[in-house]
Amino acid sequence: MDFSNEIITVVRDCEAILIPSGDPIKLLEGTRVRITQALGGDYTLFVNGNLAKISGKDADAIGMKQDKVEKPAVKFKPGDSVEEESVWEQLRTVYDPEIPVNIVELGLVYDLEITRQDDGYFINIKMTLTAPGCGMGPVIAQDAEYKIRSIPGVNDVLVEIVWEPLWNRDMMTDEAKLQLGMM
C-alpha cells in the first residue's frame, strides 16, 4: 500500500518513538503526518522532517484500524506445548521501522530457546541489530517480546540484544536481499 503522498491529521494525542534515536515523543492532535511504512501492525510516520513509529494499538489516532495483539481465547492446558514455529511466526511480524523486512528475514535472530516451566513456557531470544548504535534496539526487542507473549502458554519472555557475531548483510535471506534490491 502506498501511503507516501497522503497527508493525515492526527485525531488524538498518542505516544510515538523517534527514529533512529528511540526517544519517546508525543504526537499531538492536529499534527500532520505521512505514513511511510505499515508493517507488523505498527506504523512509521514522517512528521516535521523526522521519522517516528507508533504502535498498532494507537492506529486509530491516524485513522487506521487499531491492532490488538491478545492471547487467543484458547485455554492452555497442562500437557500442551508451545511450538517453535508459532514463536517464529510472531517474530516474522516484527520489523525495524526503517527497513521493510522482518527481523527473521534480516537475519537478526540468532537463537531461540523454549523452556518448559511448571505453569507454561519461558522463551529466550538472542538477537542483534543491523548497527550497534541503533537507538531502536530496545523498541524492536520490546515489540518482539510483546508479540511472543500473545502465544497461549507463554508466561515469560526474554529478548537479549547481543553483538557477537556482528551482523552483516550475508545473514539476510535471499528473499530479504531481493526485496531490498541487493540481488
Which amino acid, residue 133?
G
The average pLDDT across 122-139 equals 92
- Residue 43 corresponds to which cell in the numbers above? 506504523
d(CA 16, CA 129): 20
Domains and CATH numbers, the chain: 7-62 (2.30.30), 84-179 (3.30.300.130)
d(CA 49, CA 33): 10
Cα distances (angstroms) measured from residue 178 to each of 36, 47, 108, 160: 20, 29, 17, 28
22-71 pLDDT per residue, tens: 999 999 999 999 999 999 889 999 999 999 999 999 999 999 987 655 54
pLDDT band at 11 (very low <50, low <70, confident <90, very high): very high
Per the CB < 8 A criterion, the answer to whether 141 and 161 are in contact is: yes
Q: For the whole prediction, is pTM greater than 0.85?
A: no
**Do the bridges between strand 120-127 and strand 154-161 make them parallel or antiparallel, or are there none, so unpaired?**
parallel
Per the CB < 8 A criterion, the answer to whether 163 and 172 are in contact is: no
At which residue does the C-alpha cell 491478545 appear? 70
Per the CB < 8 A criterion, the answer to whether 108 and 134 are in contact is: no
